[in-house]
Structure 1
């Protein structure tokens, strides 16, 4: 099974696509203007305490105050508050916590008014990005994630991933971490640490301690709302979490991002540096890898299954509902039960992909086709658990109910990815009135004539929808060949399925837009 990461850089950020065996399984958007990424640590100010919710609202610079519940304060919050006060005092404080006295744990059943006061300064970490009308969700249990371990200040515990099941390996890792762990720092050992030597774990630990040290140095002069420790970019954080032996290609279309990714890979996995490639093609990178087409096919209300069935996906504020239909496959098997099982198994695989692709969270209810046999219901439940294993979000799956419904809860930390797949008629723009833009081929040729004769461009590329691409390229002599004869210059025609049927774009020899419609 191959894994490829395709990174498309844009002026405002970028798009990141994870392909598994050429199929799109994850899609992420990065916006340079967006803040409040999961993992970011801010110096916040307590704005309001709400005893009825046992929670506080914290100002970290978002238009709406962020939410902090008492249970998210963490048992060591008193140590954190004292440390912040000392860090911002004239004398300052050492980033090393060995000599810092840890305060007793707070009461698990206590009240937030006993711990926080209005206008208190407090370090908080974003655990859920702003979604819909809600501000960010915060925690005071700070953690800094690395490739193999997670560093937890003000703690002395060592925890290990439950996915590392072999007892001998668990004991070995705990013994190694115990020998290198700084005092008053807790450690969470991640699944990818399995089989790693102490040198790799120690290097990861030293980088996390350095990140903490840099953040505390910034804290001494930090103002409220300021970010103290930032999470990596979405691309590098994904690589940190999922890079493994099955990864065989990382393709980037921006030289600066290429160097950043290559440097990061060189640091965490030097043997994988050669898989990072810079894309220099004239076709857009997402178009070249077939991602644009997959996006249009996979984000609609209806999603087709390979053998004729289909899913209908509905989103509401409270939950997501997925209906499974057999379509024209109903006659493919010997009996109705076999048909239902096969369609349901196929649908379960696609559902697990859709959850990751759209980053759907909260409650998901799946209405599978009814089956009578208990062994078939168990087979479907086991299959869902199997295909969900590759999902990095926390989730819970319940067995089929007697109504044939399966319920899944999935952790939601970011807004759901949503791509509009319905398009207005490019001719009438949804008005129902057709104007002269129906003659788009003539308009394009007139524009081309102006660019080549009046603007005297030396080299021109024309980006059009695949339908128009075929119109200009096919036949003899083709329109493209006629242009060569008329202007004595070759016009490169590029198909771009992200454009509407009657949209087009002209680029100069430097790839800059000179005309768009």
Structure 2
């Protein structure tokens, strides 16, 4: 499986596309203004305790108070509260926990009012970003994630990813971590640690310890509801979690981000540094690598499949519903069962991709085409589970119900990726009627008079639909030549297939659009 990462940087942030075998499977948007990313640690203030919910609402600076449930406090919350009080009061000066006396674990079935009080300060971590009308969801069971390990304060436990199957390897990793981890810190060993040596694991652990020391240093001076420690940016998080030898290329269109990504890849995986490339083409990076077209075809209510079948995806507040339709695929009575099986398999593959691509969370109900053979239903269920195995989000898939519906619950930690693929026609502005096409060139020339004569612009570029470009350039005595004699300068004409038939724009030498 060949993987590629395409990063499109803009003044408002970056859009990150993950491709597998040239097919778009994940799309992430990182906004510069987003201050509530999963993993960020804030100094929260308890605003309201809700005994009926066994939860508290916490002020972390968001427009709506964040939600902290008793079960998300973490067993060692009393130790965290004690440390916060001592560090902010100045009675605990050390940066690590070597001399810190931990408190007893809280009762799993306890009440939140017995643990926290109104206006109390508590460090909290963003577990789920603000979604729809809800504020962030929080956890006070703090953890700091690295590439190979995760550091967990107030614990001595060493946990190993279940995906590492070899008992010999699990024992080796446990012994390495036991010898290098600091006192009163637990460690979770991630899947990518398999076959890694002491040097890589120790370097990663030291980086996490350094972040903890930064947290302790900032804790006394941080104002309530402000961020104490930020998670790394979305690009680095993706690379940290999924970078492996399967990656062939990482393309970036911004020089500063290129340097950052290259430096980060060198830090976590030096042998893959050469795959980071700077996109230097004039063509937009997503258009050049075919991402734009895939986005337009993959998002929307109807998603077409290669074999002629299609999916209809509907969203509600509580769940997502996906209907599988065979479309124009022919099916005689003899092969109706086999046809349904093949369509369902094709749909299952696309549904697994759609869940990752749109980052759909919560409850997903899929209405597959009815199949009568129990073996086919079981094979489809197993096939769907196999396709969903590539999904990094936690999920549960239930077997088909007696109505033939498959239910999936998928972890949702950030807002669903929603891209509007239908556009208001720039020619008619939604009215359904346009000016006569015969007058289009008259409109263009009217703007030439304004731009070239009144504004005195030089070396402009006219960008139009490919059909209009072909019309302008047809024949020996082209429109461009006529314009050259009329205006005294050569006007460059470019096409953009994304434009509507009567849409046109003008650009200066810096590739900036000339506003009319």
State the TM-score bracket (shorter-chain normalisation): over 0.9
Match of 2:407 in 1: 407
SS, match of residue 505 in structure 2: strand
* Aligned ranges 1:428-447 → 2 under 5 Å: 428-432=428-432, 434=434, 439-447=439-447
Structure 1 residue 18, shift from structure 2 partner: 1.0
* Aligned ranges 1:122-201 → 2 under 5 Å: 122-201=122-201
Structure 1 residue 371, shift from structure 2 partner: 0.7
In 2: Cα distance, 1:167 partner to 1:468 partner: 67
Match of 2:75 in 1: 75
In 2: Cα distance, 1:151 partner to 1:191 partner: 15
Q: What stretches of structure 1 of length at least 5 have no aligned partner?
A: none
Contact 1:301-1:313 within 8 A present in 2 as well: yes
Contact 2:460-2:508 within 8 A present in 1 as well: yes
In 1: Cα distance, 2:339 partner to 2:277 partner: 44
What is the CA deviation profile of residues 394-418 of structure 1, one whole-angstrom value per residue up to 9, with x for unaligned ones? Answer: 0011111221111111000011111
* Aligned ranges 1:238-249 → 2 under 5 Å: 238-249=238-249
Structure 1 residue 148, shift from structure 2 partner: 0.8
Structure 1 residue 510, shift from structure 2 partner: 2.1
In 2: Cα distance, 1:511 partner to 1:400 partner: 54
Distance 1:472 1:201, change over 3 A: farther
Verify: 1:233 aligned to 2:228, yes or no.
no
Distance 1:490 1:372, change over 3 A: same
In 2: Cα distance, 1:438 partner to 1:286 partner: 33
Structure 1 residue 329, shift from structure 2 partner: 1.2
In 2: Cα distance, 1:473 partner to 1:372 partner: 60
Structure 1 residue 287, shift from structure 2 partner: 1.5
Distance 1:60 1:241, change over 3 A: same
In 2: Cα distance, 1:478 partner to 1:381 partner: 61
In 1: Cα distance, 2:195 partner to 2:136 partner: 37
Match of 2:383 in 1: 383
Match of 1:489 in 2: 490
What is the CA deviation profile of residues 252-311 of structure 1, one whole-angstrom value per residue up to 9, with x for unaligned ones? Answer: 111111111111111111111111111122121111112222111111100000010000
Match of 1:45 in 2: 45
Distance 1:479 1:253, change over 3 A: farther
Contact 1:283-1:494 within 8 A present in 2 as well: no
Verify: 1:427 aligned to 2:427, yes or no.
yes
Verify: 1:13 aligned to 2:35, yes or no.
no
Contact 1:83-1:93 within 8 A present in 2 as well: no
Contact 1:483-1:491 within 8 A present in 2 as well: no
Contact 1:128-1:136 within 8 A present in 2 as well: yes
How much is the aligned-residue C-alpha RMSD, in angstroms?
A: 2.1
SS, match of residue 327 in structure 1: coil
How does the TM-score come out when normalised to structure 1?
Answer: 0.95
SS, match of residue 513 in structure 1: coil
Structure 1 residue 423, shift from structure 2 partner: 2.1
In 2: Cα distance, 1:370 partner to 1:476 partner: 62
Contact 1:427-1:438 within 8 A present in 2 as well: no
Match of 1:22 in 2: 22
Distance 1:459 1:170, change over 3 A: farther
In 1: Cα distance, 2:227 partner to 2:273 partner: 31
In 1: Cα distance, 2:296 partner to 2:508 partner: 28
In 2: Cα distance, 1:304 partner to 1:258 partner: 35
* Aligned ranges 1:206-285 → 2 under 5 Å: 206-285=206-285
Structure 1 residue 432, shift from structure 2 partner: 4.3
SS, match of residue 515 in structure 1: coil
Deviates more, 1:431-440 or 1:56-65: 431-440
Structure 1 residue 323, shift from structure 2 partner: 0.4
Deviates more, 1:46-55 or 1:457-466: 457-466
Contact 1:45-1:224 within 8 A present in 2 as well: yes
What is the CA deviation profile of residues 34-68 of structure 1, one whole-angstrom value per residue up to 9, with x for unaligned ones? Answer: 21111100001000000000000000001100000
In 1: Cα distance, 2:333 partner to 2:502 partner: 44
